[in-house]
Amino acid sequence: MDKPFAHLHLHTEYSLLDGSAKISGIISRVKELGMKHVAITDHGSMYGCVDFYKEAKKAGIKPIIGCEIYVAAKDMSIKNQDPENTTHHLVLLVKNETGYENLMKIVSEASLSGFYYKPRVDHAFLEKHSEGLICLSACLGGEVQEFFNLGMPDRAKEAAKFYHGLFGEDYYLELQDHGLEEQRKVNKLNIALAKELGIPLVCTNDVHYLKKEDARAHDILLCIQTGKTVEEENRMRYPSDEFYLKSYEEMEDLFSHVPEALENTVKIAEMCSFDYEFHVSKLPKFPLPEGADPYTYLTERTYEGMVEKYDAFSAYRGKPLHVEELRGLVEKEQKEIITRIDYELKIMNDMGYVDYFLIVWDFIKFANDHGIATGAGRGSAAGSCVSYCLNITKIDPIKYQLLFERFLNPERISMPDIDSDFCYERRGEVIDYVVGKYGADNVAQIITFGTMAARACIRDVGRAM
């Protein structure tokens, strides 16, 4: 039986050293509890969203993409201990494509421009990027709840009015109950405020681990994060063991007096309709000389490299390039090389990766032209003769009998992965060149996450205990 509740405030392991619930475990538990929807709202980041989406879809669960962001009370550009510029929590959920784009802008700008201990935005930035998002007032760290707790009901009302004005009917006052007196007090005030201002209510559980019995392990994880030991009194700790993925029945027991808050969880989940589009190329076009065709241009650059790289074509070095003349050669070694190159070029063209190879060739050429050391090439790209001729790699795949199909296979549609190495002292010049040529919106840097393997876990847990 489907349970009429959806968790909309949930932290995965990508709330680093704060969430201990792994994505795979979350989805399995949601399915086990008979729920049809679940949201991801990690702290200040969207690192886990794609993995979360894929895992949920695989299990037949509807994924809702979101984030618990940090909002500076005054101005995100202030980088000092201003008591009036405190940071509050806010939960944002993606309704549609526009909402996803806005949430990415919010999360990115929070880290790029607003970072001060935490990634932050402010009201002014939210006003420009609110479309397509559903907003929940968050936990006790949210503006409304915090002002209520501080005995400042007018400020709480003012904050609620701001967000209600910004998000309209997509703004919800959030109710949570982890057994804390402050939450029960704030819940009553939120219910009254919702009635006064016509703002809908929603109930959530601030999920940081899977099951109640995981609270102890989560507490040790917090000690690892903060460099404390479990015996220390004055340290960050969660005030109860209720921050787990609760069942519908448990949530109903807590919020049966506000049934609309339970119903609204599913209503919100059903309003959210966003899907990632995988395996669709969104590469920029390579800027060609006027009148040039991408495939012809790539072919010519490859054949130029072939003449320089292979001694079998040494007679043609320094002469004008004639591709068709070269294709007409019948000597066995020449024919073998040309057949391999034409086969690779055809697959690249059929799979739509001509511009991609031109882009990589171009920035490798920039590095070589400016004396920036490049690597020999790593991974399956070394199996491409075209890559070798374009100087993308420096290993002859024909000589070493390397398979092109390990790199690009028409039977398995996936983006070719070319790993390029540059001198660490000058790699910034290559990045700047690519940004200048293709625009900052088309260039991204990626991140690698370190995981805690068994030995590191034992050491860190031992230190914390």
Does residue 14 register a pLDDT over 60? yes
Q: Where is pLDDT greater, at 162 or 440?
A: 162
Ordered structural domains, the chain, with CATH: 23-271 (3.20.20.140), 294-438 (no CATH)
Decide if pLDDT at 59 tops 80: yes
Residue 120 predicted with pLDDT over 70: yes
Instruction: Map residue 253 onto helix, strand or coil.
Output: helix
The pLDDT assigned to 445 comes to: 86
Whether residue 238 contacts residue 218, with contact meaning beta carbons closer than 8 Å, is answered with yes
Residue type present at position 4: P
pLDDT at 13 over 90: yes
CB 121 within 8 A of CB 69: yes
Residue 1: pLDDT band (50, 70, 90) is low
DSSP line for 30-89: HHHTT-SEEEE--BT--TTHHHHHHHHHHTTPEEEEEEEEEEESS-TT--S--TTS-EEE
pLDDT value at position 98?
A: 98
Q: How many Å from the N-terminal Cα to the C-terminal Cα in the chain?
A: 42
Whether 85 shows a pLDDT value over 80: the answer reads: yes
Number of H helices, E strands in the chain: 17, 7
- Its sign, for the CA torsion 241, 242, 245, 246, is positive
- Report pLDDT for 444: 87
Give the pLDDT score at 280.
Answer: 79
Close Cβ partners of 429 (under 8 Å, ≥ 6 residues apart): 367, 370, 372
- 217: CB partners within 8 A, 6+ apart: 20, 209
Can you tell me which residue has the tokens 């709840």? 145
Which pLDDT does position 113 carry in this prediction?
Answer: 95
What does DSSP say about strands 62-72 and 87-94: parallel, antiparallel, or unpaired?
Answer: antiparallel
How is residue 342 written in tokens? Answer: 């034409």
pLDDT of residue 171: 98
State how far the Cα of 375 lies from the Cα of 90, in Å rounded to an integer.
45
State the pLDDT confidence band at 2, using cuts at 50, 70 and 90: low
pTM above 0.85, yes or no: yes
The whole-number average pLDDT for the span 302-330 is: 95
- The percentage of the chain sitting over the pLDDT mark of 70, rounded to a whole number, equals 99
pLDDT of the residue at 78: 95
Query: Which pair of structure tokens corresponds to residue 370?
Result: 């400016």
